[in-house]
Amino acid sequence: MSELSFFIDYSRCIGCKSCVQACEECDTHRGVSMIQLETIDRHGSVQTAPQVCMHCEDPICAEVCPADAIKKTDDGVVQSSLKPRCIGCSNCVLSCPFGVPKYLVSIDQMMKCDLCYDRTSVGKKPMCATVCPSQALTFTTLDEIRRTRAGEPVNEWRFGAEIVKTMVYVIVPKDVRAVEITGLVQLGKRPSTHDPNDIADLLEQP
Amino acid sequence: MSDQADKAPREKPRWREDFPVRWAQERYVSRRELAKFLTLGSALLATAGGVIAAIGNRGRREPKAPEVRVADASSVPVGGSALFRYPTSEDPCILVRGQDGSLRAFSQVCTHLSCAVVYQPARDELFCPCHHGVFSARDGRPLAGPPVRRLPMIQVEQRGDDVVAIGIGSDDS
């Protein structure tokens, strides 16, 4: 792995969708954007959060692939599915804790962010990081991030007892050492908010 | 992913060795390895075949054709024929004396569909009545009708008045 790493600073995202547009133009997946720009609370905030593949150390998407279609290269990049192998079963889509892989019905294949492998493998920045005006998406060294940012980059996610280490860092407040997911998600049926803008609530209503 | 309570790495299933997630752990068979395998494999097969054939052949002799007295020479006139069985009692044969006085013997089993052939002295031919197959009574060649293979010739020898079959002859006679 090169010493250049990918960093996401959600607090800097301004929702301009430059990354979404730039991603479409990457040569490895021309015309299809592999980055997802999530809205956090559409009703109450304009905050958005870009989601690229986190490139797990032990990628569960590849582990569950029955066709051996998802491979991890030496530099730690979890590649998009191999066209001759992918059977479109969507196991990866269901297994990814970050919701990154997307099954494309039109080509009966899963596609996901591969960190613009044609670019990063030769030392260039991924498309999204080159265009992000607020540098919420950055491709640089750890030292540079520590020198220029107020937060701390972490690459450890805790899903209860399950620890996921990723190649991509997220920038969190200084005292945080890992992202605790357990406290953020609510298991089971959540109480109805009766909010007309809450899509999840609308979907759960009978 | 690892387990927080138990830090020991989870044991990978055996099939994972053949289908590793990491590209670097893939084991590809190179063209040279495949060529080597094919060459050595073929050589081994050929050698093994030769050895097995040699072992099978060792100590096995072609059974010598028995000498069997089949008829009295005097009982077969010119243009006449006699039936006998040779080399076993399951193999009907026919002994003929041609117009030149020579004794010749053939298998009586038509090479078409195994009917019994009969001698026709006028044309010096062996005739199969089932489908009108005709063989030469000189060398057993098929001359007409459906048969395409020769009648096997029986080597006979005249010793005094005895006609003795001494072997199944080749077609060059």
Distance, CA of B87 to CA of B155 (rounded, Å)? 11
Residue B11 with chain A: CB contacts under 8 Å: none
What pLDDT score does A23 carry?
93
Q: What is the ipTM of this complex?
A: 0.74
Exposed/middle/buried for residue B56 (C-beta within 10 Å: 0-12, 13-18, 19+):
exposed
What pLDDT score does B173 carry?
43
Name the pLDDT band for B125 (thresholds 50, 70, 90): very high
| Binding-site residues on chain A for chain B (CB distance < 8 A) | 56, 58-60, 62-63, 68, 70-74, 79, 158, 161-164
pLDDT tens digits for range B23-64? 888 888 889 999 999 999 999 999 999 999 999 888 777 677
Residue B23 with chain A: CB contacts under 8 Å: 71-74, 79
What pLDDT score does B7 carry?
52
Write out the DSSP string of B109-143: B-TTT-PBPEEETTTTEEEETTTTEEEETTT--EE
Which is nearest to A151 in space by CA: A142, A164, A159? Answer: A142
Burial string for A151-178 (b: 16+ CB within 10 Å, else e) reads: bbbbbbbbbeeebbbbbbbbbbeeeeee
Residue B5 with chain A: CB contacts under 8 Å: 161
Average the pLDDT over A56-77 and give the result: 93
Sign of CA dihedral A137, A139, A142, A145: negative
Q: Residue B75 is encoded by which pair of tokens?
A: 């009982």
pLDDT tens digits for range A86-103? 999 999 999 999 999 999
Name the pairing type of β-strands A162-172 and A4-8. Answer: parallel
Distance, CA of A48 to CA of A97 (rounded, Å)? 19
Name the pLDDT band for A139 (thresholds 50, 70, 90): very high
Tell if the CB–CB gap between A163 and B19 is shorter than 8 Å.
Answer: no
